[in-house]
Structure 1
């Protein structure tokens, strides 16, 4: 089932590795630098929540958030993402990355990708949204539908720094042949320091293919009465993130994190979905072990 995608991944990894051997590493400054061949591990202890937009879906309580990353000369692991990068110039790099698809996290709380998607060390008080929660005439709960698959995606990401802002463009495809879809994102991230701590603001626009949306949020004749089926279509979702942290010592920091994701009608038209947004917030203290 994985033979063809794995061959492609191995070939691309070898290509990136060979290119990286002769490429100059991107420049970095101050706290942006990550020392190679060194494991970074930190834990954030506090409280927060990620809302669940599905009928019958439980909000995810956030109490302990781990952050683990390691960068070698040819490959890296960064909070659940495994990949390899090549520097195209001093300010631009291309990466091939593999990770578990995050849609499964709304259906299963103990999904491994639920905690590793949050960057605790760079992680704003909860923001209250007045967005309308759709009251559909017909609703379907998570417990009423068949089990959604766990998928593993492979993608290419291009990162470049311009005018003190990090820009990225990424494209992902299903290597596990579970949702048979693709998704892409484009976004920008900018950080700044003040007397009150370190801030980081990012904005992203995500596109998810009809196959991906249909796999997780579509409804078949086996799950709903005749005439209530739903066939997923392409989805566009906008996202905002705001992070704040203030170091107390060399290893201890206080932090706050906020994320807002706006869902479009491609998802909310499904009777499985009750809300048109997902909010995530967390506040606490972080301790870096390594």
Structure 2
């Protein structure tokens, strides 16, 4: 078990690195083309990567499965989460966006209590409240640093929570890779549909095309390793390693974009992470520690 946990932790670290690499190249591409076009181009590459993976694993399902109400709800929520996150990512430091997004486990716990009737004790309610205080410290509403893009990341967190909560209610026999493939195709198609309404098609340089291909490959790599992490180790041990994404974002944001988070942002991030870790700890004690069955496709 110790060996399994070590390998699972390594897989989770690699998965989070994959997601940050995706965010990084999406942010680079966003300087030249709008979010809808990013979703369209990257969606093609991501769909191809995931289709090959699903085919290799024998996880391709019938089309009617993709039209089930809960999968349609999940897909719609993921489309909106992706659009809002990519829109924000092009206009704010990658570390700030990642830090706000770490509130997702808290929002999922809150949503599960309010809408799914899952029991949440006073300790986890306290952790949720403290975590949201941390988010407010990061976004600082009413100050000069607060922008509509901060709201866009918060919206992405809310849509992602809907996605994860709807996933909890889906048939467990539906392969996770098939769900991710359906989502990737839908996100890409939505991007293509949105292009005419977002300024039309912009010229795409070879460097941008490479950036989005790398982003798509990084999402696929992240997906592979997060599934491996969930299947290999004890979730109570592995789940906290998901917060390594924030450290990656801090380092990459500084090295590539020169973004140095303010002390308040770092304090808020620490509060959010600590609250999330405590929530995971309490769920581990109750024996219900879970990660979202599929990663965000930002």
TM-score for both structures, normalised by structure 2: 0.28
Max radius of gyration: which structure?
1
Comparing both chains, which one has the higher relative contact order based on Cα–Cα distances under 8 Å and sequence gaps of 6 or more? Answer: 2
Q: Which has the higher strand share?
A: 1
Q: Which has the higher helix share?
A: 2
